[in-house]
């Protein structure tokens, strides 16, 4: 429901703020992993995030499925975040943001495979447009996907799988506790081996990055997104949350990155593909019970 005009405006502001916070993670994480190994950094980030959520979940009733599924989904999420964080060591933050957001295009493909049905024409068109955008973003003629782009593309596939899994399970679980179990799982899965891969004696920049992303880009941003979606219709929410890759690209340019004309054209094509897959059916009122049309972020 859209709610009162004032509530809708506040909801839109909350969503926009969440998008900006998610966007900032690409730059913050890239700077942090110059000072720390990805595994211990992710362990610190997600253990901090879990600690922030703990006071809100400790008195809520729990279920066995919530813990079992939360651990399973969280373990898979750990791999995706590790791919994304490692990829940021080898590519620009703006490129990482746009490639990561390809998850919106990948989700309906996974749903089609799982449900054993042919993807809709809009999905096929979105994939074609996104592929052209990825080609241009990677340099066009004479270019190619480097290690960072390939790792980020793999992380987008992983995040898309996470969206599908959460869409199938979350309806029967407490959302706050389910999120907490996932965050704690990522923290443990990355944090324990992180003791032996780099350790936690990294500098202030990495610790500040872990604290910022754990508190603001995880706990606060997700709270803002959930709050905003209470009063903002899905189609409008999806459009507002497109601020994430756009903002990440602008932050990258502001700090000296150069997309160039080819990269800019590729980024615009990726945004167009996301609009075709996620926003267009919502604007037409053609909303199925499908995670492909739910606003989704993974920063």
Nearest CA among 235, 232, 218 for reference residue 297: 218
Mean pLDDT over the full length of the chain: 82
CA 122 to chain CA mean position, Å: 22
| Separation of alpha carbons 155 and 200, rounded Å | 24
Confidence of residue 2 (pLDDT cuts 50, 70, 90): very low
How many Cα atoms within 13 Å fall on the side-chain side of residue 24?
16
Q: What is the pLDDT of residue 226?
A: 64
Task: State how far the alpha carbon of 217 is from the alpha carbons of 60, 76, 103, 130, in Å.
Answer: 23, 20, 18, 26
Higher pLDDT, 207 or 115: 207
Q: Is the pLDDT of residue 281 over 70?
A: no
Tell how far CA 32 is from the center of its chain.
18
Q: What is the pLDDT of residues 83-121, one digit of tens each?
A: 999 999 998 888 888 888 888 788 888 888 888 888 788
Residue-level pLDDT at 57: 86
């Amino acid at each position: 429901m859209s709610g009162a005009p004032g509530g809708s405006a506040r909801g839109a502001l909350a969503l926009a703020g969440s998008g900006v916070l998610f966007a900032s993670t690409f730059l913050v994480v890239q700077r942090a992993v110059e000072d720390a190994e990805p595994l211990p950094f992710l362990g610190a980030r997600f253990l901090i995030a879990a600690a922030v959520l703990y006071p809100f979940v400790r008195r809520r009733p729990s279920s066995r499925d919530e813990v079992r599924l939360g651990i399973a989904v969280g373990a898979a999420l750990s791999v995706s975040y590790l791919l994304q964080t490692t990829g940021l060591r080898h590519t620009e933050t703006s490129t990482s943001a746009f490639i990561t957001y390809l998850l919106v295009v990948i989700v309906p493909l996974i749903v089609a495979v799982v449900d054993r049905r042919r993807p809709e024409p809009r999905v096929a068109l979105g994939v074609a447009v996104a592929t052209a955008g990825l080609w241009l973003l990677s340099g066009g003629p004479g270019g190619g996907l480097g290690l960072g782009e390939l790792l980020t593309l793999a992380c987008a596939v992983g995040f898309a799988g996470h969206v599908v899994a959460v869409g199938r399970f979350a309806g029967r679980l407490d959302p706050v506790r389910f999120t907490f179990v996932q965050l704690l799982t990522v923290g443990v899965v990355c944090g324990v081996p992180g003791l032996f891969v780099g350790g936690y004696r990294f500098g202030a920049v990495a610790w500040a990055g872990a604290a910022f992303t754990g508190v603001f880009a995880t706990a606060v941003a997700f709270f803002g997104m959930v709050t905003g979606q209470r009063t903002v219709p899905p189609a409008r929410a999806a459009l507002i949350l497109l601020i994430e890759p756009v903002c990440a690209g602008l932050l990258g340019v502001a700090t000296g990155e150069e997309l160039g004309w080819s990269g800019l054209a590729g980024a615009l094509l990726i945004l167009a593909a996301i609009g075709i897959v996620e926003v267009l059916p919502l604007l037409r009122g053609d909303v199925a019970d499908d995670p492909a049309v739910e606003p989704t972020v993974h920063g």
